[in-house]
């Protein structure tokens, strides 16, 4: 069983608040996301992948989950990229497989998560 986010933390709500026009809500949500990433990286990545793969979740939170997930797995800066690779390699293989499966499940999604590529 993969680690999960703390009880009472609704990732969908936090992702919605991270996109809020209200700076106080947005800053608090960003702080919560950073805290989750630092305290439970595996659970954080797993939760993001599940959010992204959940067709019943709002498109805007799925899109943000995908962006945060991408940024948590890859970076242009070589030093940061090496840290992220090391963090990924430290995650239990079964959790990594579940994350990969969730990501692959998004491929046939009917909702276009990236409107920029719709016309391509």
The string of pLDDT tens digits covering residues 61-81 is 999 999 999 999 999 999 999
pLDDT at 107: 82
pLDDT in tens, 45-65: 999 999 999 989 999 999 999
pLDDT at 73: 94
What's the burial of 14, exposed, middle or buried (CB within 10 Å: 0-12/13-18/19+)? Answer: buried
Where do we find the tokens 């709002």?
58
| Of 7, 58, 79, the residue nearest 36 (C-alpha) | 7
Region for residue 36 given its phi and psi (left: phi exceeds 0; alpha: psi -120 to 50; beta: otherwise):
alpha
């Amino acid at each position: 069983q993969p680690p999960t986010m703390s009880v009472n933390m609704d990732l969908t709500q936090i992702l919605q608040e991270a996109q809020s026009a209200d700076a106080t809500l947005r800053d608090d949500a960003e702080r919560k996301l950073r805290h989750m990433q630092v305290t439970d990286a595996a659970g954080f990545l797993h939760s993001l992948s599940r959010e992204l793969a959940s067709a019943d979740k709002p498109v805007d939170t799925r899109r943000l989950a995908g962006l945060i997930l991408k940024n948590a797995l890859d970076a242009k800066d070589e030093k940061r990229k090496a840290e992220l690779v090391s963090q990924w390699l430290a995650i239990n293989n079964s959790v990594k497989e579940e994350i990969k499966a969730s990501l692959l499940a998004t491929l046939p999604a009917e909702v276009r998560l990236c409107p920029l590529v719709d016309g391509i």
